[in-house]
Structure 1
């Protein structure tokens, strides 16, 4: 359990806070995962009292996570640790009221010493927030009247290109050291994603064949069966490449491709992921035209806050290459999109064919090729596919699966990503958070795609299809 602390939540009225953060904090409190004494101070623009804020948070927890509420008394205990400070970021107000609230109250000497800032706000506001935090004497660098440790959690996206990412990193580093920063990508908190490193490096039957000599290709799919919902204004600025591929997609790629770390310390693991990002081959106009397919679902231009002639992509299929000793020549396909046929996230590692195929057309074993399928959502499973003889007189082979299922194998309910990552941030474990060099290296890759395909018209695709299928088939 972490030391007593104060959590300062910027954007306390945000959708993320309502759906994920407050329910997760409440459940951690129920489970005894919060320290003996803690305070959660929410900041927002509307004027409201502490009691009004507490009442609203209770309503949000009941509305968005009703299954977490077992006892009204537990909810009351949690809400008594909630406090509210009105603050208008857009007006450029200072944080004097926050500082007074941090320093105030019975037992403040046991909670104000350690402060965890959580920015549930648009990334463009981060520089302004950290400057205000520093001006109020609550920053992470230098002496502070409150003392104790300081940490800051930043939600993705971390910029919208390499230049903005560097500017964001520089701005935050003026107030916080890198070891105080926790750049959160909730995918890294998912149990199946965290299990990849265990699956690879604790099983001697896989690690020797986890390389270009045995693996033919890796396919990563991040599909959603819904559109952009109410995020039209955001999507017009980001697009699918920046929204999904730059973070979730490349983080999954790095988990599959990384070398064994020297140990399980956070920086050792992040060092190896950083090497992968630096090894990803950058795109040229020629390679982008060959290896990148961008699409836009039919009806996107009629969504709210979307331009009628928008060329923003809602689908991307990208073939990446990792130019290092282990992976040279092995394609890593990442396909992601909105309004696709189903919601699914999975990684499929396909192995090369045996030297001689007795059981199918010469030169091909695609039907029964060995595969490892890591399903991240909606199920949480790992399956291994291999060929076996179909019953009967003929020597006909069929692919079959051996499957491991988290829920069937473990009776204990796993932590959700935000449970896991909040615990890690409180305790100071940065392994599953993104370091500054990884942010900048991944943006370098995405920028090479964007600059190689300037303002192209994305291919249209039908809602609840698998994207512009005819184009994908032509380029596969």
Structure 2
């Protein structure tokens, strides 16, 4: 947090978006309720509809009660919070509406800083981002033409483009109005407690870091599974697919967090430098290696979903065997497996260590049953477990896997912040460590584009709803 209270205005594009209703409004209210927004602030929501400030405030209350029941625990404080909420009608295509928005932002009395410290949040479909940024620039609201001093920042939700070409175009467009240190590309996974703990787990514990390499680790498995389908996102999902929706961002960011080298310090640039190096080192998958490296699937009934093409080849499941061709990880497979309508909702990283050189306690193949593992469970619960072999009670020497587990809820009495709590505060503070830098976005898209090119129209394997997807016996 800032040492001194800072007055600011957040301009939220996408006043009626699902993200705003489910995450942003509750998070901002709770941050204010907990005293984290210590200065004066305003939230100006931008939408296409015609709403008064009072009607908008009523709408926000209804959405918080619907999606985050129990959040409003003090009616007097919530009423005070509502007085900080404003609404401006804007046609995102019309530059004159941005001039009206600019006048609304600058219309301040009695509270300095509200017009000079501006945080723009794009909770809109990705195709609108270039239009919004271009018009902000033309209306004098970009980060490179600040007439009244202070700071300006912009938060951009994923996806950042749909391929490498569009990502570069988007980065160029945003870069024309904001400098890189003003741009916060958000991936909410990077705000999760267990993801942030990967660095601490590795670099503050001497028993793990010496073993964190190809000499001791046999494989890394990253699972991002959901036990539900595409819900009402058919139009978006059928144009996107699992590789672009999950693997390009969440999956590769988790891989980079596990595989990165120790940074020179804990500055945002130092940490992001190391993640970027990992992404740059990932071996490209080609048409020659695609069969051994990638499995894609589509759950039964997907083509009957609303707004999905009857002959759709869009994947709702993907398993990709990646290799990081650097000194530390050469030859170690990193399997990312992600999908919709799978057996359960779970996100976890499993680091499996190599077997001992000689197995005294059973047949050689039994090592895979008791191999040492570090299991980082990101959701639904947040835990870290270590698996090791132990002798089963009795006369025979038989080994079984046993676990030591650390649970955030059981170990810490204070409740943790949600990812959006943390990332909103980071953006206000200007801390970019848990946001994605331009070069990482482009490296990730180059990796996914190569996979999509190599797949070349392959029909996804079908799989049953509630299963773990099609078989994934990938050799790399």
TM-score (norm 1): 0.98
Return the alpha-carbon distance in structure 2 between the equivalents of residues 49 and 264 of structure 1: 45
Q: Do 1:19 and 1:64's aligned partners in 2 also have CA atoms closer than 8 Å?
A: yes
Return the alpha-carbon distance in structure 1 between the equivalents of residues 270 and 357 of structure 2: 37
Find the counterpart in structure 1 of residue 401 from structure 2.
399
Q: Which runs of 5+ in 2 are unaligned?
A: none
Find the counterpart in structure 2 of residue 468 from structure 1.
470
Return the alpha-carbon distance in structure 2 between the equivalents of residues 203 and 283 of structure 1: 34
More off after superposition, 108-117 vs 31-40: 108-117
Q: Do 1:315 and 1:337's aligned partners in 2 also have CA atoms closer than 8 Å?
A: yes
Q: Do 2:293 and 2:474's aligned partners in 1 also have CA atoms closer than 8 Å?
A: no
Return the alpha-carbon distance in structure 2 between the equivalents of residues 172 and 405 of structure 1: 40
Find the counterpart in structure 1 of residue 82 from structure 2.
79
Return the alpha-carbon distance in structure 1 between the equivalents of residues 271 and 260 of structure 2: 9
Find the counterpart in structure 1 of residue 46 from structure 2.
43
Cα deviation, 1:115-173, whole Å, max 9, x if unaligned, reads: 0000001111111111111121111013x333321000000000110000000000000
Return the alpha-carbon distance in structure 1 between the equivalents of residues 111 and 237 of structure 2: 42
Return the alpha-carbon distance in structure 1 between the equivalents of residues 168 and 353 of structure 2: 38
Find the counterpart in structure 2 of residue 193 from structure 1.
195
2:115 is the alignment partner of 1:119: no
1:190 Cα offset (Å)? 0.2
Q: Do 2:95 and 2:138's aligned partners in 1 also have CA atoms closer than 8 Å?
A: no
Q: Do 1:87 and 1:93's aligned partners in 2 also have CA atoms closer than 8 Å?
A: no
3-state SS, counterpart of residue 174 of structure 1: helix
Q: Do 1:94 and 1:132's aligned partners in 2 also have CA atoms closer than 8 Å?
A: no
Regions of 4+ moved over 6 Å: none
Return the alpha-carbon distance in structure 1 between the equivalents of residues 272 and 421 of structure 2: 21
Find the counterpart in structure 2 of residue 241 from structure 1.
243
Find the counterpart in structure 1 of residue 13 from structure 2.
10
3-state SS, counterpart of residue 61 of structure 2: helix
Return the alpha-carbon distance in structure 2 between the equivalents of residues 107 and 48 of structure 1: 25
3-state SS, counterpart of residue 370 of structure 2: coil
1:457 Cα offset (Å)? 0.2
1:108 Cα offset (Å)? 4.9
2:141 is the alignment partner of 1:133: no
Cα deviation, 1:212-249, whole Å, max 9, x if unaligned, reads: 00000000000000000011111111100000000000
Find the counterpart in structure 1 of residue 229 from structure 2.
227
- Give the length in aligned residue pairs: 473
Cα deviation, 1:241-299, whole Å, max 9, x if unaligned, reads: 00000000000000000000000000000000000000000011121111100000000
Find the counterpart in structure 1 of residue 270 from structure 2.
268
More off after superposition, 123-132 vs 206-215: 123-132
More off after superposition, 97-106 vs 291-300: 97-106
Alpha-carbon spacing, 1:225–1:363, altered in 2? closer, same or farther (3 Å): closer
1:443 Cα offset (Å)? 0.5
3-state SS, counterpart of residue 121 of structure 2: strand
